[in-house]
Amino acid sequence: MSDTQLLICGKSFKQDERDRLSTAYPAVFVDGPGDMAGLDSTLRASIRAVAYKGHAPFGAEQMDLFPQLGVITNYGVGYDAIDVEAASARSIAVTNTPDVLSDDVADLAVGLMIAQARTMIRGHAHVASQRWAKEGEIPLNRKVSGSSVGIVGLGRIGREIADRLAAFKCEIHYSSRSEKETPGWTYHPDVVSLAQAVDFLVIALVGGAETKGHVTREAIQALGPRGVVINISRGTTVDEGALLDALEAGEIAGAGLDVYENEPNIDPRFLKLDNVVLQPHQGSGSVETRTAMAELQLANVAAFLKGEPLVTPVN
Ligand code: 8YV
């Protein structure tokens, strides 16, 4: 019988995060869910908790490898990689790391809007390549303050984005499953009417099957030639082919993206565009926030192993 109760799964865990977990509890590490079956069966039989980080699917097949598994603690607010229904059916709890990352993700969304509209990437290249002195100013660009913005999904992160943009004197519109109590923001029951009403469409939906392709080709086209798509949620929430078609054809003005359908090997069509600002899924990636996420994940592992209530349960 092994005394290892914790499985740390995810090659994107930083060494200090792994160390913190394995100092707290005897642990074994695998790169991803695909490596779990390779663990020794005696070891698998003793695992009671998984600390997971990543976006590779973690489903019933993997859960069934661990007869004593009681909790999967996800490092991240989005748990679309984990089959929560399969976990619930096996009485396995799932936890995530909400709230602690909302500020960072909202900051990045606003940063992407400003970087795209004010052509900051071009501006940087103009200075760095010394063209400024030779060629003078870059072309005029586009004002963000006071513009009309549509938030797709007014959850915790969506609200943080809206609050920030309200301070930028933007006109706030939103779509969500139901109308929320908001300070004078305009509700749209569907994403097409939302897109018609605004210039910037900021996607802050949860991921997963439920929201796959939620921002449709029709919605992207409804944005029109001044429209900019900002996505800090999951690549799956947008019809990515339709987005690329619209960007290439100039049917919309541009995009600021932190997430893609195929990460990290994104569609090469993105790389040829000059109307986009692309980030490597770093929404929660500040030292402060990642530390808070790691602590919250460990707190959930600890609560479970001590038989205490979970801090941030999902199911
Ligand atoms: C990732 C995220 O968790 O919280 C989320 O849903 O997408 C990110 O914070 C992070 O990149 C680690 O995989």
- 8 A C-beta contact, residue 191 and residue 219: yes
Q: Is 12 in the pocket of ligand 1 (CB under 6 A)?
A: yes
Q: What is the ipTM of this complex?
A: 0.96
Q: Is 77 in the pocket of ligand 1 (CB under 6 A)?
A: yes
Distance of CA 199 to CAs 159, 162, 225, Å? 18, 14, 9
Quote the ligand 1 centre to 54 CA distance (angstroms).
7
Quote the ligand 1 centre to 66 CA distance (angstroms).
25
2 band by pLDDT with thresholds 50, 70 and 90: confident
Supply the CATH classification number for the domain 6-98+288-305. Answer: 3.40.50.720
> Per residue in 260-309, pLDDT tens?
999 999 999 999 999 999 999 999 999 999 999 999 999 999 999 999 99
Ligand 1 pocket test, candidate residues 31, 73, 77, most atoms within 8 A of CB: 77
15-24 vs 287-305: helix crossing angle, rounded to 10? 20
Report the predicted TM-score, pTM, of the whole model to 2 decimal places.
Answer: 0.96
- Structural domain spans, the chain: 6-98+288-305, 102-278
Check residue 214 and report its DSSP letter. Answer: -
- 8 A C-beta contact, residue 138 and residue 123: yes
> Are 6-98+288-305 and 102-278 in the same CATH fold?
yes
> Per residue in 166-218, pLDDT tens?
999 999 999 999 999 999 999 999 999 999 999 999 999 999 999 999 999 99
Ligand 1 pocket test, candidate residues 52, 73, 75, 232, most atoms within 8 A of CB: 75
Domain boundaries 102-278, CATH class? alpha beta
Taking the CA of residue 290 as reference, the ligand 1 atom at the shortest distance is 9
